[in-house]
Amino acid sequence: MVEKLAIEGGEPVRKKPLPTIDDISGRYLGEEELRLLKEVIDSGKLFRYVGTKVKELERRFAEYFGVRYAIAASSGTAALHAALASTRIDPGSEVITTPITDMGTVIPIIAQNSIPIFADVDPETFNMDPADVEKKISDKTHAIIAVHILGQPCEIDRIIEMAEKHDIYVIEDCAEALLAEYKGNYVGTIGNLGVFSFQQSKHMTTGDGGIAITDDEELARNASFFTDKGWDRSVSGPRSYVSFGLNYRMNELTGAVALAQLEKLKDVVEKRRELASWLTKQMEGIDGIGLPKIIDGAKHTYWFYPIKVDHERLGISNEGFAKALNYEGISAGTWIGKPLYLGPIFLQKRMYGNSGCPFDCPYYNREIKYKEGMCPNAEKASRELLVLSCNEKFTYDDTADIANAVRKVASYYIRKT
């Protein structure tokens, strides 16, 4: 007897909401953050250059990751923008990245009047395919933004090898992969710069916030200037603006929360790995569902728990499957949806009013078309990828409910077809 789905009027697997990253039910937030916030308020010093918390965060974050420099910013996107700007990228340059990512990965490229070039992805991991990255390198390529998707490292060593051959920069976007490891190294410490996000959903959260790390003194200095309107504060006397920059400064309240969160980060990641291990065991053998594939040398940190929906086998799209799971009381979604280049902003090339820049600017004398078929694996992934919630407040019973709901929905549609 096939169990009736909740979406069709049956009883849901889960009636009590799961812990969620959207509020305290799924986050390690409490007395530690309040204590440090109170210190900031009591001091009256909320600006980073009169207070101590952001400076301390930068010191301790760099120490945590074993690098020389850390530059805090107002968001992960801001930190990535500062990282890219620190490489002194020229207008009309090309930057290679993945089409399956948040728009925050690509905004810095466009903001620097440069051209996003999208490389296809591995169909199993959804991370950038190094072979396709190499195909996309041209004489205009300035950098590769290597994104570690959903908590799993990409094959960053292969990307760095080809980057060194062509003398281009590698920036690691680790927004979704705090404390993920590849061949014994933390992601973010392998390329020229690494960038992290502290947005609400990330492994450590300040609501918004971010940080860039590097061992390169010049890149660190450039990134620091960029977050502070190009101001060289080491020069006494009249203000010395030495380069173009934006106001991407982190404030002391954000720095205080980040300091408390940093102390909890290891426990958060270890708990998520434990939960993901339970979930994997509980979902093994569900027909029509593909479980995460972990590449050799990688340690996943499960920003979300990704699965593949075999829509041909099940006769339902990943969007439809996610909707059915939501009715069962299980949070699920398709995350990004279509690859970025199929969005209106790329298809219509309207970045700066109706100007056509950066694509039609004098510094870029090539024609680029964003169109369907550019990255077939990414487009296929957009039809298969589904992400399930995974946060540090889950219990074994929570993961059992998730697995039972996935099994219930998959079994229903297989039998129905």
Give residue-wise pLDDT tens across range 101-132. 999 999 999 999 999 999 999 999 999 999 99
Element (DSSP H or E) covering residue 215:
none
Residue 1 predicted with pLDDT over 70:
no
pLDDT per residue as tens digits for the range 288-305: 999 999 999 999 999 999
The catalytic residues are: 202
Report residue 318 as tokens.
């990943």
313-338: average pLDDT: 95
Residue 40's CB is within 10 A of a number of other CB atoms, namely 20
Residue span of the structural domain in which 197 resides: 31-262
- The beta strand positions in 236-383, using DSSP E, are 289-290, 298-299, 305-309, 332-333
CATH code of residue 99: 3.40.640.10
Q: Which residues pair with 170 in a beta bridge?
A: 144
Tell me the pLDDT tens digit for each residue of 173-232.
999 999 999 999 999 999 999 999 999 999 999 999 999 999 999 999 999 999 999 999
Average pLDDT of the chain to the nearest whole number: 96
Q: In this model, does residue 97 exceed pLDDT 70?
A: yes
Domain assignment present for residue 182? The answer is: yes
Summarize pLDDT for 232-244 with one digit per residue, the tens: 998 888 899 899 9
pLDDT band of residue 417 (cuts 50, 70, 90) is low
Asked, for residue 414, whether it belongs to a domain, the answer is: no
Asked if residue 254 is part of any domain, the answer here is yes
pLDDT of residue 121: 98
Specify if 356 maps to a domain. Answer: no
> Which strand ranges, in their side-by-side order, compose the sheet holding 141-147?
69-73, 210-214, 193-197, 169-173, 141-147, 94-97, 115-118
Residue 139: inside a domain, yes or no?
yes
With contact defined as beta carbons under 8 Å apart, do 203 and 303 qualify? yes
Are the C-beta atoms of 257 and 206 separated by less than 8 Å? yes
Asked whether residue 336 is assigned to any structural domain, the reply reads: no
The model carries a pTM of 0.96
Question: In this structure, what are the phi and psi dihedrals at residue 234, rounded to the nearest 5 degrees?
Answer: -80, -15
Query: Total domain count for the chain?
Result: 1
> Quick check: is 327 in a domain?
no
- Cα distances (angstroms) measured from residue 188 to each of 52, 213, 247, 258, 301: 25, 7, 24, 18, 14
On whether the CB atoms of residues 193 and 221 are closer than 8 A, the answer is: no
The verdict on residue 276 lying in a domain is no
